[in-house]
Amino acid sequence: MKKIGFIGLGIMGNPMAKNLINAGFDVSVFDLNESSVNKLVEAGAKASDLISMAKEADVIITMLPAGKHVHDVLEKEDGIFNNGHAGQIVIDMSSIGPTDAKNIAENAKKFGIETLDAPVSGGEPKAIDGTLSIMVGGDQSTFDKATDVLKGMGDDVVLVGGHGSGVTAKLANQIIVNLNIAAVSEALVLAAKADIDIEKMYHAIRGGLAGSTVMDAKIPLILDRNFKPGGTIAINMKDLTNVLQTAHDLDVPLPMSSQLLEIFHSLKADGKVMNDHGGIVQYYEKIANV
């Protein structure tokens, strides 16, 4: 059975690593936060460090906040690449930009290490259920060798193209998710201001064309005033910043995404950046005085 090293055991990494243990893989873990490591050790993982993991694991997975953390863990002197071995596979499942993902793939090649960029969608609930959507960038041969590992965490595991394609597909996904939450928020605030019972309206419209996974996931939480993350506004700001950087590199104007990033900045200035992105509704409530 493959030996897996898992780095980054936060909201998403914790359940994803647990699912790999449950699937029968031999899992070693590392995180800067000791209590996060201890939770995985209780679930059957072995605590490790970057150098030992690099030497021992067949497959290394990173699930870290942003590109700079992934570069650091993989490329520093006492990191994975310098201590790993040819034929090893590194799968970065974090949501980072395509330039970072392509640079990481190029650097890995110098060590004979194969990489995939394989970000996920579905949030904490699907990470817990092991039913994440996983969009993968890289070579077909690497994908074939790593499919069993990816299937341990997700249902829809799709190779969308070469290096950087997985994270680019994730950026496209984030445009749809976040603009959808913004649209739901605008609609809810309009209805609330008109004294419509939001819960009744939700049940009236959710089966029609407006219905969406976002609507079903976020409206119940908004009605409960539950903005515990989930995916924070901070994380989604990072994604939208990568979206706009990538769009500008490709000469693609994205007027709605630009505006939404400004809304995120407004929520940040208002001290709400660590709320779930369902908290976009709080921006609309404030400007409409609801």
Nearest of 228, 220, 241 to residue 277 by alpha carbon: 228
DSSP strand E in 141-210: where? 154-161
**In terms of CB distance, is 142 or 236 closer to ligand NAD?**
236
Rg for the chain, CA atoms, rounded: 20
Among 17, 20, 40, 73, binds ligand NAD (CB under 6 A): 73
Distances in whole angstroms, Cα of residue 61 to Cα of each of 46, 119, 244: 15, 11, 27
Minimum distance from residue 137 beta carbon to ligand NAD (Å): 15
| 54 binds ligand NAD per the rule CB under 6 A | no
Among 22, 33, 213, 259, binds ligand NAD (CB under 6 A): 33
Nearest of 199, 227, 247, 260 to residue 99 by alpha carbon: 247
| 112 binds ligand NAD per the rule CB under 6 A | no
3-class secondary-structure state, position 24:
coil
**In terms of CB distance, is 65 or 162 closer to ligand NAD?**
65
| 16 binds ligand NAD per the rule CB under 6 A | no
**In terms of CB distance, is 126 or 163 closer to ligand NAD?**
126
Minimum distance from residue 162 beta carbon to ligand NAD (Å): 21
CB count within 10 Å of CB 24 equals 10
| 63 binds ligand NAD per the rule CB under 6 A | yes
| 235 binds ligand NAD per the rule CB under 6 A | yes
Determine whether 286 is an active site residue.
no
Among 22, 32, 41, 265, binds ligand NAD (CB under 6 A): 32
Among 4, 5, 6, 9, binds ligand NAD (CB under 6 A): 9
Give the span between the Cα atoms of 58 and 42, in whole angstroms: 23
Catalytic residue among 18, 126, 170, 238: 170
- Find the part of the chain contacting ligand NAD (CB under 6 A) among 30-38, 40-48, 200-208, 252-260: 30-38
CB count within 10 Å of CB 244 equals 19
Give the span between the Cα atoms of 262 and 252, in whole angstroms: 18
Residues 115-174 that bind ligand NAD (CB under 6 A): 120-121, 123-124
At 115, phi and psi to the nearest 5? -130, 155
Please report which helix (H) or strand (E) contains residue 147, including its range: helix 140-151
Among 13, 97, 98, 137, binds ligand NAD (CB under 6 A): 13
Tell me how many residues contact ligand NAD (CB under 6 A): 27
Residues 6+ apart with CB under 8 A from 92: 61, 62, 64, 70, 74, 101, 104, 115, 116, 117, 118
Minimum distance from residue 65 beta carbon to ligand NAD (Å): 5
Give the span between the Cα atoms of 160 and 222, in whole angstroms: 33
DSSP letter string, 233-262: HHHHHHHHHHHHHHHHHTT---HHHHHHHH
Minimum distance from residue 260 beta carbon to ligand NAD (Å): 16
- Find the part of the chain contacting ligand NAD (CB under 6 A) among 40-48, 159-167, 193-201, 228-236: 228-236
Assess contact for 72 and 79: CB atoms under 8 A.
yes
User: Which residues are annotated as catalytic?
Assistant: 170
What residues make contact with ligand NAD under the rule CB under 6 A?
7-13, 30-33, 36, 63-65, 69, 72-73, 94-95, 120-121, 123-124, 230-231, 235
